[in-house]
Each structure stands twice: as structure tokens, then as C-alpha cells.
Structure 1
Amino acid sequence: MPPTTVDLTTTVFEAVLFDNDGTLIDSRGPVVRAWTAWAEHHGIPLERLVGLHGVPSRGIVSRVAPHLDVDAATADIDRRELEDAEGVVALPGAGDALAAVGGRAAIVTSAGRDLAVLRLDAAGLTPPAAFVTADDITRGKPDPEPFLLGARKLGVDPARCLVVEDAPAGLQAGRAARAATLAVTTTSEVHELAPLADAVVPDLSQVTFRLVEHGVRVELA
């Protein structure tokens, strides 16, 4: 049975757990360049990478190239991504969202810490104290572990959190963590996101976050 839809505008959330790439920042240029070069180098057809946005690098490598040494192949793609931050920018509304939520925000990303920090810096964004990366977990999205850890770092109940994501894998992880979910259509189509989200918006410029006595309220444009 599908989870009951939450009315985001009438709920007070204990915290907001933001994905990074595709939600707070636009890193599509570096991502496409790095993965295209990696796939060509290893003889992997590019179509195998379709639909894996939001999954950690190691998980992607394991799925599309099980014949490769996963440690070496993951290190290769990580190196390529760390060498390219050209064109990374903050997405509309991202800075305002982080500032508004303040200490009740966490970033939960499938990127490694070094890469996440590099891209956030390139976009002019400062991560909150609660910051979960691929280096902190054993199972990546769509497993709920990343968001469960994000909630734990903030000392809140994951079922009282709002997960903000741009990828189906991330929304699946949020739902599995029992959180409410808000999707942005920056990298995926509405029809891919809507079945997994309590609401869908173009980007965070269409959302207002407001701190209240016991948490965070959300208003949708």
C-alpha cells in the first residue's frame, strides 16, 4: 500500500534534510563530463548510466560495471569529478532555504565529503553542521540509511522530517526513512517524481521555509 500523502503546508517539521546535487546546486556539467569520460575509458555504454542519478558512485560502478575492480573504478570516477567544478552554481532558492532553516537543516548527499565540499564552495553555499556524505554510510540511496543518519545527527525523529530531493532514488530513500518528501524538477520529470513525493515544485525558489516554535513550516508558491 502506498504511503499516505502528507499536506506539507499544514505540518510542522522537526528538520529539513536537503539533497545537494540537483537540489541545492546545479552540477550537471561536471557530472556529465566526468561520467562520460569514465564510461568511454572503461568501455561502458552510456545508456547503462540512465536512471542512476542520486545513487552513490560506488553503487553505480557496481551496477553498470561488475566486471571491474570496484575500488579502482570508483577511485577513478571520484578523481575525475574532483578535478572539475566548472559551471557549478547554486540553484534558485537554495541559499535562502538553507538560511531560513538554519540549525534544523542537514545536507544528505550521495557524493563523498571532499566532492560535496568542493561543489558547495564553488556554488557559494556553506553546509550546515549536520552534513551526511557517502563517506559516512555503508548503504546509499535508495536505502534510507543516509536520511536516518541525517535525522540522528540533528537529534530528531526521521518521521518528523521533510526530505527535499530531485531524484527518484533519493525520494525512495526518504520514504523508506518515513519522512515526508518534497521533489524539485531540476533533473527529473514530474511523472518520475510525483508518485514518490508529497509535493512537486520546479525549484526551491517556489518554497518558503519558516522557523516556528517547534520546528519548520513550509509554504508553496
Structure 2
Amino acid sequence: MLTPATAFEGRTFDAILFDMDGTLISSIAAVDRSWARWAGEYGYDPETFRISHGTPARSLVEELVAPERVEEAVARIMEIELSDTTGVELLAGVTDLLASLPAERHAIVTSCTHDLAIARIEAAGITVPPVVVTADDVTRGKPAPEPFVLGARRLGVDPVRCLVVEDAPAGLASARAAGCATLAVDGTHDLADLDADAHAAGLADVRVVVEADGTLRITDATGRAA
């Protein structure tokens, strides 16, 4: 597995597109509590029920309930999740990294709905960036390319000039399909299971330098230039 500084040697990016859960914040406990509660209401054993983190809620629900119950079941998990942001926390290194980035050079691209994304961003203490792409903004979520294509478009840049930071296979597949470079971080999945151009334990291990022309150069945590 390559570090960001090695994998992106000699490259710069126009923008960075961040996944949210498991990348910028940890809401795993809240997510698992919410889905366990939902599972019990829909006939599953909440003690053994597991979901694939990073996949849109609607996609999960469509696999679990009859078609005629999808809308009510999606509404119910949204209701449960919005009511529970206890324990949502900012991950190490995120504050400093986001502070180093111009607002027009980064976005959050998440599988959450808009309301849930804003609730979790605010619960973690992050300033909501001008561009946040959510499940409400796309017709096909991760692993389809649409979320990251839209994130790049709203920033006014080409997806091939973007770096995506993700912690889930579906998100990385989405980023690759959009033509973006990829950096996997250790969040909801083991790094060994994530197919990406570069890997890092977390954003505390990554630094970004804004070049004179506004492009972004990736370095490691010690500041060693790529």
C-alpha cells in the first residue's frame, strides 16, 4: 500500500472530495444503534443485524423489505437516525486539514440524506462547507459515479483533477468510476480491504499544501513533499 506522498508524487489536484462518515467523522455507534432499532421493528434480529457502511439507506432498505414497504421503511430509518446523533465525533486530524483548505477547493460527498448530513456535520463541530452532495441530490448513489461527478461540477472542476478521500468500498468504486484519484482511510473498513491509489490510517497522517496557482499538493504528516 502506498502512502499519499508516494502515490501522488509530482501531482496536484484542483479539489478534494471527502466522504463523511468514517472519513471526517465517526458516527458508527449512532448508525449501528439506529439500524438495530429499525431492524427490530421490521422483523430482523437487532442483536445480529449488520449493514454495509457507506451504502445509501434506500439501497439497503430495498434489499431488505418488500417493494410496497420501501417508502415507509426509508422514512422510518431517516426518522430514527435524525433523532440520534449521540456520540458523533470528529476524527483525528480533520480540523487542521480542513482549515488548510480553501472553501472552493473541497466538498463533502455523502450517502446520507441532506438533513441527516447537516445534523451529523454540526454534531461533530464541522463548519458546513459551501458544497455538500447528499443522497437527495443524485438519482444513483455510490458506487455509481454520479455523487462525485456532481461534487466536482458544483466546485467547477473536472473530476479527473479531484482527489477523493473515502473509507468504504462503495465510495471508492464511485470515485474511480468518476475518474477521480483515490485515498483510502481506515474508518469503517480495514485498509487491506480497500482498493485505492493511496492509503492512510487517517487524516492525521495527511497534509495538503496550497500551491501559488491554487492547486493542492499532498504531503505526509511530517510535511515531506510528494
TM-score, reference length from structure 1: 0.91
Equivalence for 2:182: 181
Q: Distance in 2 between matches of 1:87 and 1:68?
A: 34
Equivalence for 1:101: 101
Equivalence for 2:154: 153
**3-state SS in 1 of match to 2:21:** coil
**In terms of mean alpha carbon deviation, does 65-74 or 198-207 score higher?**
65-74
Q: Percent identity?
A: 48
Q: Distance in 1 between matches of 2:49 and 2:123?
A: 29
Query: Contact 1:148–1:158 (CA<8 Å) still a contact in 2?
Result: yes
Q: Distance in 2 between matches of 1:139 and 1:74?
A: 16
CA deviation profile, 1:153-187 (whole Å, cap 9, x unmatched): 01111011000001110000000101000011121
CA deviation after TM superposition for structure 1 residue 68, in Å: 5.5
Q: Distance in 2 between matches of 1:23 and 1:38?
A: 24
Matched, 1:15 2:15: yes
Query: Contact 1:13–1:160 (CA<8 Å) still a contact in 2?
Result: yes
Equivalence for 1:199: 198
Matched, 1:211 2:210: yes
CA deviation after TM superposition for structure 1 residue 64, in Å: 2.5
Q: Which amino acid aligns with 1:217?
A: R
Q: Distance in 1 between matches of 2:22 and 2:143?
A: 16
CA deviation after TM superposition for structure 1 residue 128, in Å: 1.4
Equivalence for 1:162: 163
CA RMSD of aligned residues (A): 1.6
Equivalence for 2:3: none
Q: Which amino acid aligns with 2:99?
A: A
**3-state SS in 2 of match to 1:107:** strand
Alignment of 1:62-81 (within 5 A): 62-66=62-66, 69-81=69-81
Equivalence for 1:3: none
Q: Distance in 1 between matches of 2:30 and 2:10?
A: 38
Query: Contact 1:9–1:220 (CA<8 Å) still a contact in 2?
Result: no
**In terms of mean alpha carbon deviation, does 62-71 or 114-123 score higher?**
62-71
Q: Distance in 2 between matches of 1:159 and 1:36?
A: 38
CA deviation after TM superposition for structure 1 residue 94, in Å: 1.2
Q: Which amino acid aligns with 2:153?
A: R
TM-score, reference length from structure 2: 0.90
**3-state SS in 1 of match to 2:183:** strand
Equivalence for 1:118: 119
CA deviation profile, 1:32-63 (whole Å, cap 9, x unmatched): 1000110111013566644x211111111012
Q: Distance in 2 between matches of 1:112 and 1:9?
A: 35
Q: Which amino acid aligns with 2:171?
A: G
CA deviation after TM superposition for structure 1 residue 127, in Å: 2.1
The runs of at least 4 aligned residues of structure 1 exceeding 3 Å deviation read: 45-50
CA deviation after TM superposition for structure 1 residue 122, in Å: 0.8
**3-state SS in 2 of match to 1:106:** strand
Gaps of 5+ in 2: 1-5, 222-226
CA deviation after TM superposition for structure 1 residue 8, in Å: 1.8
Q: Distance in 2 between matches of 1:66 and 1:134?
A: 21
CA deviation after TM superposition for structure 1 residue 211, in Å: 1.0
Q: Which amino acid aligns with 1:110?
A: S
Query: Contact 2:110–2:133 (CA<8 Å) still a contact in 1?
Result: yes
